[in-house]
Amino acid sequence: MLPGPTSVDPAILRAMSRQIEPHSHPAFIAKYKSVLEKLRRLVGTSGQVFVFAGSGTFSQEVGVANFVEPGDKVLCLVNGFFSARFVEMVKRCGGQPKVLEVPFGEGFTAEAVKEALREGGFKAVTAVHVETSSGVANPIDEIGEVVKEAGALFIVDTVASLGGMEVKQDKWGINVNCACTQKCLGAPPGVSIVSLDREALEILERRETPVATFYGDLKGWLPVVEDPYSNYRSTHPVSLVYALEEALNQIFAEGLRNRYRRHRVIAEAFRRAMKAIGLRILAKPGFEADTVTAVLYPEGLGIDDVEFRREVERRKVLIAYGYGPLRGRSFRVGHMGSVTANDVLATIGAIEAALKKFGYKFKYGAGVTAAQKVLEKLK
């Protein structure tokens, strides 16, 4: 129950273990093109999708490096560990980041972003959809409207949302979308995903200065994604592309509406359980993500974070440590990918058992009971 990498379905692992075909072989190219088309449908763009060997961090870096040039002014929306990375990336590209920051556990409103954009002169705005470090989901659809009004490019990290929460790149005004495989998509780590809408593609085509990264130069990759039979830039992560295709097949077989509903209900069940046993959710009401939740430890007990998570692990459940200013005072649970109602109930039970061992006073079983009531919605 980590917020990535998540558990991988056996069928996806089997797909990854098939005999490797050369990246120039027609059989592989057919799968590669299938992956690009399915990702285009999933992210909601009529633009272009690129896949590389890499992580979510590389996706962010590619998104910035291809659109931020020396001297460009960029508004960076920072509300956690991963959104803050954009600031350093902008600096390394010679850009001038201006940081708009809210406290850890809070999200951005479109009004706040609009006010910051009044300063003018911004080439781009960076943001994360779901801040994995805090479990906060930003209203990217609303923010996208004000970014478009300001005439800026919108670069968004959907690493912890794509495949688990609705993402509509073109409709929401996301020009550059950065994602990866090992979270909500339920595939193994190792593939970076970057998608561009038509406006971003036009800007990319007009760029004259060289991009600082050769491997991540999207202009250099355009001929490959448009005609992979005839063009080459670098060897594809062949086995991971096989796995990603199977993961995408499973996502569309479940149906996007059903998948998003499953994530939403399981997230609600987990939060309801934590509140039922007296624990506090870090994300402010209205900003809770459907894919990951950060929970504060009860005060006054002096719970050791490492020992607590080990106690949970003894019950065959893995949870993650807290990030940022609340590291050691919080834990995080990922309810993403192929997670089921039984998975979340087992997790809640393990957390309750660990809390009881550490001397926390609460009605034992109250969390599981509260979650079960919510999970009835999935039947």
* Residue 286 CA: distances (Å) to CA of 11, 196, 335: 36, 29, 18
- End-to-end Cα, the chain, rounded Å: 22
Residue pair 44/37 in contact (Cβ under 8 Å)? The answer is no
179 DSSP β-pair partners: 193
User: Could you tell me the two tokens for 131?
Assistant: 């801040």
Distance CA 274, CA 300 (A): 17
User: How many Cβ atoms sit within 10 Å of the Cβ of residue 366?
Assistant: 16
**What tokens does 290 get?**
């459907």
Supply the pLDDT for residue 300. 85
- Measured over the CA atoms of residue 312, residue 318, residue 319 and residue 324, the dihedral's sign is positive
Read off the tokens for 37: 């088309």
Q: What is the pLDDT along the chain (379 residues), one digit of tens a residue?
A: 999 999 999 999 999 999 999 888 999 999 999 999 999 999 999 999 999 999 999 999 999 999 999 999 999 999 999 999 999 999 999 999 999 999 999 999 999 999 999 999 999 999 999 999 999 999 999 999 999 999 999 999 999 999 999 999 999 999 999 999 999 999 999 999 999 999 999 999 999 999 999 999 999 999 999 999 889 999 999 999 999 999 999 999 999 999 999 999 999 999 999 999 999 999 999 999 999 999 999 988 889 999 999 999 999 999 999 988 899 999 999 999 999 999 999 999 999 999 999 999 999 999 999 999 999 999 7
Can you read off the two tokens belonging to residue 289? 């993500």
For residue 378, which of 320, 335, 334 has the smallest C-alpha distance? Answer: 335
Domains and CATH numbers, the chain: 10-253 (3.40.640.10), 255-378 (3.90.1150.10)
Q: Which residues pair with residue 292 across a beta bridge?
A: 334
Does residue 90 come out as left (phi exceeding 0), alpha (psi in the -120 to 50 range) or beta? alpha
Q: Which residue has the tokens 């002096």?
A: 302
pLDDT at 324 (0 to 100)? 85
Query: 3-class DSSP state for residue 333?
Result: strand
Considering the entire predicted model, what is its pTM? 0.96
Q: Alpha helices, DSSP H only, in 227-364?
A: 238-254, 256-276, 305-313, 341-357
User: Within a 10 A sphere around the Cβ of 357, how many other Cβ atoms?
Assistant: 12
Q: What angle do CA 236, 39, 173 make, to 5 degrees?
A: 120
| Phi, psi for residue 126 in degrees, rounded to 5 | -110, 145
